[in-house]
Structure 1
């Protein structure tokens, strides 16, 4: 066997002229359609129009041109099947040995902010996926190229042996079916959202690989980093790494946790994270002050952690950051002076995120969690509260400053692993209790961590108190105000203890479990 005839029809024409010129020089007949055919002819590459093959004109604005037996017989005929050989001969049909196709730019089209529904639909390719699937199904005999990065390797094999190897054809076919599956997944997702059905009876998701990772959570686990096709700016998948080693699996998860917390704040904020939990969060009049508070919240745990800021890192802040070992610093940007300071540290990873946008402008998205044999899907938790949402349930009203600290603590506690307790004072965390099997255990950890700073602080709880013991511990530590969802059958017990100790308590009516 050898490749004698190629069908070429591409939307992305990068490299196609040189590729087809080489094919032609090797004696391969080029069949092409529409714009691709015109480009090849203009560039002096011998080309046969698709209508010469089908005996039928391209019609309906090019919607119908390759959906024809003369095309698909050439792609699907089993070359060593005698009946197929006879039918091809009787009908005077020619084999097609190589298919080079990429698809209408549906993804690029729907990414445009002003795209109309009609324009999106018009950019759904029909003939292209059909040719790809036909050729890929028959990969025992047909080579199918959907990715321009494969042009050179395919040419090299044709030059050497006149054909591609079966191993190559299998690899190319697998890539084709991944490509068409992803293409269809994107279309179905778009139409499901348009029709208001984001959780349909069948859910197909697609992601693009950014990079292979050295390993997963542990060295014996394989891992890779993927991006959603239309990932928004201000996410890790669109970040620019300015310095440092390649990100690891754990780096990515920790950095994402830090990013989600710092996005809660509109004022200058800095978040330090270890093992996907915040160890220090601070806000201030500028990023320098915010970092000082995040650092002072827990100077021990921040060592070896990830730091996220929602303002540009300046030189003064960089001088503080360089004093300790940090895995990652991520921020909207870094001043040139800050970069000069931080890049002197060989291993620190610096990520430029671009602008995050306002916390109130964040859009909900769906999150996927794998389980054995399947997955669960939920909306992201972007719920926020302000003072008008709070219900004071105690005799004492919180002061203006307590309200401010309660709302600060509430923004943080929603991102701490449940059961979660956060103590806050002076626009910073002073104690964090995470992931315990009971709520009072988390409170004990947070209070112990805060030490003397617990006195006069406020407490945020991600879920209600099942009994009054947590409030008792808070009172003994000198905590003055509490924010919690409420809704326990023993709410009155907690309220009674708060009143007896002069603690102001507010209910949000919303919980923030994070398992």
Structure 2
């Protein structure tokens, strides 16, 4: 028989959402309740009969609650195989009663991580008894149902109503799979945190864990299945954003919005307004301005063709002026720390336009890990937390850049960090005027960026390329002088690059010959 009646339930939860109604429904079907600590108190105060776990085990909770469920009368009741003569004999000999339903959610370790709790607080939020019980019940899912989140209360009650107080094996399998995944994600968060605290950058075992944020209609392409998972995090971003309106986010929306918001986080909102427009995970326009509206206008001017259907990220609260301008063309997503009431109303007129607010900007200097899957494994690295403002720029040419050029060089290198390699960025007066991304040759990236600038200039009625008088940034060194030649041809006057090529002297000599100023950062920003 695959249906198993529930006669006794052990409930121990930190999230008490829906607890009392669920427990009342169980009691109405004759289910006996066993509980612990605060959960037992909540059930008792609701007028429900409940046996404290100490009454079951014969031992009091001790050591500040660290030891309460780690006992044979708990784990025997969860792990015993019903109908097995040996197991039944052991239960009878030791006075162990079966537990048919386990309802446990774990100490809120992830919440402690998100609020950056101190070390001792983090340790105390590591659950031991909970995962042990969950794993025991999940292993014995042939006989025991295990619930690890309130969202599954209804499914259990529905099955009990349909099956005269019993659950089906199909439901118990599904709940068991979720239970093991839950403890795996929980332990992954703990392991990652503790490895960081121990300074172990390459632990022998690396686990990934996340909580489903939403199922997606498909992935990058319609034939690919996809879902979005949220990890314990303290960085504001797409995973923590609140969607105020618009269609459901797609896989590509999420990926592109993340790229846009991470880049706009490089711009200090207290210093300047900034706007980033992203298409296919690459910025097609980035600019600073006295206002968000001005920053958007200047970012749009870099590549108005690519901006159509793009993602707009802002580093300040979205206001009405910026909102009016942004909605004039088709835009997939607007993401900002917040939006004022008038701006929200303006965007609301475009019912499909997604508006996300994050409550803050991501810190570009913050530590964290980045993952990339490969066949049979995955790569892990520290996220690129290098910031050009923290670097000591070395002038390597005869000519020193002017203050204006120096400001634009920093701006351009800040953007190049977020452009797919090989990356070339032309900038002038705090705005991109040409972006070349993702080419196999750095020369091609330089030429593509210049051509885009030429096209944008013609569209705006300019009589000369927008790159004339600009500066240029390269995410990595120029291996030959030909890449620099393309920038010179485009009209750039100053260059910022990491340096470090065997042919640096050749490149520097070419810059001197052309009268360019060049600075080395000593840090590259490959992005694949």
State the TM-score, normalized to the length of structure 2.
Answer: 0.92
Shift of 1:112: 3.4
Q: Is residue 487 from structure 1 mapped to residue 500 from structure 2 by the alignment? A: yes
What residue is the counterpart of 1:453 in the other structure? 466
Given the superposition, is the C-alpha separation of residues 342 and 174 from structure 1 closer, same or farther in structure 2, using an over 3 Å criterion?
A: same
Q: Is residue 212 from structure 1 mapped to residue 215 from structure 2 by the alignment? A: yes
Shift of 1:495: 1.4
Alpha-carbon distance between aligned partners in 2 of 1:193 and 1:86, rounded to the nearest angstrom: 47
What residue is the counterpart of 1:141 in the other structure? 143
Q: Is residue 313 from structure 1 mapped to residue 332 from structure 2 by the alignment? A: no
Given the superposition, is the C-alpha separation of residues 340 and 5 from structure 1 closer, same or farther in structure 2, using an over 3 Å criterion?
A: closer
Given the superposition, is the C-alpha separation of residues 411 and 140 from structure 1 closer, same or farther in structure 2, using an over 3 Å criterion?
A: same
Alpha-carbon distance between aligned partners in 1 of 2:122 and 2:338, rounded to the nearest angstrom: 34
Shift of 1:458: 1.1
Question: What is the SS of the residue equivalent to 2:227?
Answer: strand
Q: Is residue 337 from structure 1 mapped to residue 342 from structure 2 by the alignment? A: yes
Alpha-carbon distance between aligned partners in 2 of 1:81 and 1:170, rounded to the nearest angstrom: 20
Shift of 1:336: 2.0
Alpha-carbon distance between aligned partners in 1 of 2:352 and 2:44, rounded to the nearest angstrom: 53
> Do 1:26 and 1:159's aligned partners in 2 also have CA atoms closer than 8 Å?
no
Given the superposition, is the C-alpha separation of residues 305 and 83 from structure 1 closer, same or farther in structure 2, using an over 3 Å criterion?
A: same
Q: CA RMSD in A?
A: 1.9
Shift of 1:8: 2.0
Given the superposition, is the C-alpha separation of residues 69 and 364 from structure 1 closer, same or farther in structure 2, using an over 3 Å criterion?
A: closer
Q: Is residue 465 from structure 1 mapped to residue 468 from structure 2 by the alignment? A: no
Alpha-carbon distance between aligned partners in 2 of 1:366 and 1:461, rounded to the nearest angstrom: 24
Alpha-carbon distance between aligned partners in 1 of 2:488 and 2:123, rounded to the nearest angstrom: 62
Alpha-carbon distance between aligned partners in 1 of 2:388 and 2:328, rounded to the nearest angstrom: 36
Bigger mean CA offset, 79-88 vs 57-66? 57-66
Q: Is residue 430 from structure 1 mapped to residue 443 from structure 2 by the alignment? A: no
> Do 1:420 and 1:462's aligned partners in 2 also have CA atoms closer than 8 Å?
yes
Q: Which runs of 5+ in 2 are unaligned?
A: 455-464
Q: Is residue 8 from structure 1 mapped to residue 21 from structure 2 by the alignment? A: no
Shift of 1:387: 8.9
What residue is the counterpart of 1:68 in the other structure? 71
Question: What is the SS of the residue equivalent to 2:5?
Answer: coil
Alpha-carbon distance between aligned partners in 2 of 1:387 and 1:169, rounded to the nearest angstrom: 54
Shift of 1:231: 4.2
Alpha-carbon distance between aligned partners in 2 of 1:42 and 1:477, rounded to the nearest angstrom: 76
Given the superposition, is the C-alpha separation of residues 68 and 440 from structure 1 closer, same or farther in structure 2, using an over 3 Å criterion?
A: same
Q: Is residue 506 from structure 1 mapped to residue 519 from structure 2 by the alignment? A: yes
Alpha-carbon distance between aligned partners in 2 of 1:131 and 1:95, rounded to the nearest angstrom: 13
The number of aligned residues is: 511
Question: What is the SS of the residue equivalent to 1:342?
Answer: helix
Deviations 1:374-399 (A, max 9, x none): 11011111212249711111111111
Question: What is the SS of the residue equivalent to 1:327?
Answer: strand
What residue is the counterpart of 1:241 in the other structure? 243
Given the superposition, is the C-alpha separation of residues 284 and 489 from structure 1 closer, same or farther in structure 2, using an over 3 Å criterion?
A: same
What residue is the counterpart of 1:374 in the other structure? 377
What residue is the counterpart of 2:295 in the other structure? 290
What residue is the counterpart of 1:322 in the other structure? 327
Alpha-carbon distance between aligned partners in 2 of 1:396 and 1:496, rounded to the nearest angstrom: 12
> Do 1:231 and 1:237's aligned partners in 2 also have CA atoms closer than 8 Å?
no
Q: Which runs of 5+ in 1 are unaligned?
A: none
Alpha-carbon distance between aligned partners in 2 of 1:249 and 1:153, rounded to the nearest angstrom: 29
What residue is the counterpart of 1:365 in the other structure? 368
Which of 187, 195, 199 aligns to 2:198? It is 195
State the TM-score, normalized to the length of structure 1.
Answer: 0.95
Given the superposition, is the C-alpha separation of residues 478 and 13 from structure 1 closer, same or farther in structure 2, using an over 3 Å criterion?
A: closer
Alpha-carbon distance between aligned partners in 1 of 2:137 and 2:438, rounded to the nearest angstrom: 53
1:160-179 alignment runs, 5 A limit: 160=162, 161-179=164-182
What residue is the counterpart of 2:115 in the other structure? 112
Q: Is residue 152 from structure 1 mapped to residue 157 from structure 2 by the alignment? A: no
Deviations 1:318-376 (A, max 9, x none): 222122111112122222222222221232211112221665xx302110011111110
> Do 1:423 and 1:430's aligned partners in 2 also have CA atoms closer than 8 Å?
yes
Question: What is the SS of the residue equivalent to 2:49?
Answer: coil
